Amino acid sequence: MHNNSEKNNSAHSRRRIAGLIIPTAIFALAILTVGVLLYRIYLVRQGQEGDEKSFDRYYVMITDDLKSSFWQSVYSGAQSTALDKNVFVELLGSNLSYDYTPEELMEIAISSHVDGIMVYGGETERMKELIDEASQKGIPVVTMYSDNPNSQRCSFVGVSGYNMGREYGRQVTDVLREKKRLSYNGATSNGEEEPPIGITMLVDKNMSSSDQNVIMSGLKDSLSGEENGTGYDIRTMAVDNSNPFSVEESIRDVFMEENIPDILICLNELDTTCAYQAAIDYNMVGSVYILGYYDSDKILNAISRNVVFSSVAIDTNELGSFCVEALEEYNESGNTSQYFTADITLIDRNNVSQFMTKEEPADVE
């Protein structure tokens, strides 16, 4: 009995120690991260890094996917403009060993007293609280691509959702013309009209209903102006974009449905790449028309091979540049425009060669 009691006490003690070690380790890691960032800011401001060039201000960019070619391109645009203005911009988290969430990176940036924050916003309440906290501490925040309109951010840099919707609408009309060109005559053998064209638009599960409605409004307005005698069955499907595996699973579910859509509209890079891969895997190339987003080498290659019908690309360099300009204007004058709009461009098989790099793009398998 005595031995059993001692064993129980020992096991209990070990659990208590483990329960203390884990939170302590997490806290220590957070302190170390903030310390490293503070030291880096000090070095940047004192001109002790690299070529010993000193900078007037230190900004950070925070995104939900550090490795995305989309965000890397946005960051490149921000860097280019920042250097011209003697400002240093860091893609926060890219040099850290731990994968922090955007909210955690916001906490680090606020604790480090940076001069400005560019953040992929989202409309979560926690992000709003963090943006407000930064603003109250004198750190201006620019939301980029995804807004948090009820927060105290100083500006939003993005694209016009309505214009995007209209562009996708025009592409839907072009798909219909393509189908007719391929001997689709719009009528069944008994003279009855074909069923409506099935359109599924993939949306991030965290996208606000207002943002969805704006894009959908542009899409429907564009289609309503086309007199082609064809009906459309339009629906949205929420996708968990937190990791590639959840996106792949969601999109594969689309291709396994009984009524597979005729047209699949993708609103980001990851959805587009997963969609065209699923079309290949399920032998649906030419049956499901994919209207994509962004102009990565893989997507451009897919367009050139007629796997993706077209893609809407945002001027990522302009997006990054506008973010820096908004922060600079606010820091210098205390005011800036509430809204900056980056340009969008349609890419299809008629002009895709103009966008393809000289390097051989990755193959679509």
- CB-based contacts of 233, cutoff 8 Å, min separation 6: 195, 196, 197, 198, 199
Q: Give the confidence band of 8 by pLDDT, cuts at 50, 70, 90.
A: low
For residue range 71-87, what is the model confidence (pLDDT) as tens digits? 999 999 999 999 999 99
Q: Which CATH superfamily is domain 2-153 in?
A: Response regulator (3.40.50.2300)
115: closest CA among 88, 96, 154? 88
Q: What is the mean pLDDT of the chain?
A: 84
Average pLDDT on 227-252 reads 85
Q: Which CATH superfamily is domain 161-314+345-354 in?
A: Response regulator (3.40.50.2300)
For residue range 183-209, what is the model confidence (pLDDT) as tens digits? 545 454 455 666 788 999 999 887 878
Kindly tell me if the per-residue pLDDT of 276 is higher than 60.
yes
Highest mean pLDDT among 206-215, 290-299, 356-365: 290-299
Kindly tell me if the per-residue pLDDT of 362 is higher than 50.
no
Q: What's the pLDDT score for residue 207?
A: 81
How many Å from the N-terminal Cα to the C-terminal Cα in the chain? 66
Q: Give the confidence band of 363 by pLDDT, cuts at 50, 70, 90.
A: very low
Phi-psi region of 141 (alpha: psi -120 to 50; beta: other; left: phi over 0): beta
Q: What's the pLDDT score for residue 74?
A: 96
CB count within 10 Å of CB 1 equals 5
SS (H, E, C) the chain: CHHHHHHHHHHHHHHHHHHHHHHHHHHHHHHHHHHHHHHHHHHHHHCCCCCCCCCCEEEEEECCCCCCHHHHHHHHHHHHHHHHCCEEEEECCCCCCCCCCHHHHHHHHHHCCCCEEEECCCCCHHHHHHHHHHHHCCCCEEEECCCCCCCCCCEEEECCHHHHHHHHHHHHHHHHHHHHHCCCCCECCCCCECCCEEEEEEEECCCCHHHHHHHHHHHHHHHHCCCCCCCEEEEEEEECCCCHHHHHHHHHHHHCCCCCCCEEEECCHHHHHHHHHHHHHCCCECCEEEEEECCCHHHHHHHHCCCCCEEEEECHHHHHHHHHHHHHHHHHHCCCCCEEECCEEEEECCCHHHCCCCCCCCCCC
CB count within 10 Å of CB 9 equals 10
Q: What's the pLDDT score for residue 3?
A: 52
Q: What's the pLDDT score for residue 192?
A: 60
For the purposes of burial, counting CB atoms within 10 Å of the CB of 337, is it exposed (0-12), middle (13-18) or buried (19 or more)?
middle
Q: Give the confidence band of 4 by pLDDT, cuts at 50, 70, 90.
A: low
Residue 99 or residue 15, greater confidence: 99
- Rounded to two decimals, what is the model's pTM? 0.79
Q: Are 122 and 109 in contact (CB under 8 A)?
A: no
Q: Are 214 and 161 in contact (CB under 8 A)?
A: yes
In the chain, what are the domain boundaries? Answer: 2-153, 161-314+345-354
For residue range 21-48, what is the model confidence (pLDDT) as tens digits? 555 555 555 555 555 555 455 555 545 4
Q: What's the pLDDT score for residue 237?
A: 93
Q: What's the pLDDT score for residue 359?
A: 45
The sheet with strand 141-144 has its strands ordered as 87-91, 57-62, 116-119, 141-144, 155-158, 339-341
Kindly tell me if the per-residue pLDDT of 356 is higher than 80.
yes
Spatial distance between the Cα atoms of 320 and 74, rounded to a whole number of angstroms: 5
The sheet with strand 344-348 has its strands ordered as 232-239, 197-204, 263-266, 289-293, 310-314, 344-348
Average pLDDT on 163-180 reads 91
Kindly tell me if the per-residue pLDDT of 234 is higher than 90.
yes
Q: Are 187 and 194 in contact (CB under 8 A)?
A: yes
Kindly tell me if the per-residue pLDDT of 97 is higher than 80.
no
- Distances in whole angstroms, Cα of residue 231 to Cα of each of 54, 118, 128, 222, 363: 61, 42, 40, 13, 36
Same fold, 2-153 and 161-314+345-354: yes
Kindly tell me if the per-residue pLDDT of 336 is higher than 90.
yes
Kindly tell me if the per-residue pLDDT of 157 is higher than 90.
yes
Kindly tell me if the per-residue pLDDT of 293 is higher than 80.
yes
